Amino acid sequence: MRDLNSQSQPQSSILLEWYDQHARSLPWRISPADRAAGVWPDPYRIWLSEVMLQQTTVAAVKDYFHRFTSRWPTVADLAAAPDADVMAEWAGLGYYARARNLLKCARVVAQDYGGIFPNTYDGLIALPGIGPYTAAAISAIAFDRQATVLDGNVERVMARLYDIHVPLPTSKPQLKEKAAALTPAERPGDHAQAVMDLGATICTPRNPACGICPWRTPCAARAARTATELPKKTPKKPKPTRIGIVYLARSAAGDWLLEQRPDKGLLGGMLGWPGSDWTDSPDSPAPAPPFEADWQLLNAEVRHTFTHFHLILRVMLAELPAEFAAEENQRVIARHDFKPTDLPTVMRKAFDLWKGC
Interacting residues toward DNA by CB under 7 A: 26, 49-50, 53-60, 92-97, 101, 128-135, 137, 151-153, 156, 169, 193, 196-197, 199-200, 205-206, 233, 235-239, 265-268, 304-308, 344-346
Q: Yes or no: say if 58 and 131 are a contact pair by the CB < 8 Å rule.
A: no
CB half-sphere exposure, 327, CA atoms < 13 A: 10
Q: Yes or no: say if 136 and 148 are a contact pair by the CB < 8 Å rule.
A: yes
Active-site annotation holder among 50, 89, 155, 259 = 50
Residue 78 C-beta: closest distance to DNA, Å: 16
- Give Cα 82 distance to the centre of its chain: 21
Q: How far lies 27's CA from each of 2, 7, 69, 75, 192, in Å? A: 44, 35, 10, 17, 17
Task: Tell me if residue 158 falls in helix, strand or coil.
Answer: helix
Instruction: Using the minimum distance from each CB to DNA, give the nearer residue, 135 or 161.
Output: 135
Instruction: Using the minimum distance from each CB to DNA, give the nearer residue, 134 or 148.
Output: 134
Instruction: Using the minimum distance from each CB to DNA, give the nearer residue, 102 or 316.
Output: 102
Instruction: Using the minimum distance from each CB to DNA, give the nearer residue, 5 or 234.
Output: 234
Does 50 participate in catalysis according to the annotation? yes
What is the rounded distance in angstroms from the CA atom of residue 250 to the CA atom of residue 272? 14
Residue 53 C-beta: closest distance to DNA, Å: 3
Residue 123 C-beta: closest distance to DNA, Å: 14
Residue 103 C-beta: closest distance to DNA, Å: 12
- In sequence order, the 6+-apart residues with CB closer than 8 A to the CB of 141 are 41, 46, 50, 189, 192, 193
Instruction: Using the minimum distance from each CB to DNA, give the nearer residue, 123 or 268.
Output: 268
Residue 355 C-beta: closest distance to DNA, Å: 16
Q: Yes or no: say if 246 and 275 are a contact pair by the CB < 8 Å rule.
A: yes
Instruction: Using the minimum distance from each CB to DNA, give the nearer residue, 154 or 318.
Output: 154
Residue 58 C-beta: closest distance to DNA, Å: 6
What is the rounded distance in angstroms from the CA atom of residue 141 to the CA atom of residue 144? 6
Q: Yes or no: say if 60 and 93 are a contact pair by the CB < 8 Å rule.
A: yes
Instruction: Using the minimum distance from each CB to DNA, give the nearer residue, 227 or 266.
Output: 266
What is the rounded distance in angstroms from the CA atom of residue 259 to the CA atom of residue 263? 12
Alpha helices, H only, 217-283 = 220-224
CB atoms near residue 256 (< 10 Å): 21
Residue 208 C-beta: closest distance to DNA, Å: 11
How does DSSP assign 26-53, residue by residue?
-TTSPPHHHHHTT----HHHHHHHHHHT
Alpha helices, H only, the chain = 12-22, 32-36, 43-52, 58-71, 75-79, 83-90, 97-112, 121-125, 132-143, 152-161, 172-182, 188-201, 220-224, 345-355
Provide the annotated active-site residues. Answer: 50
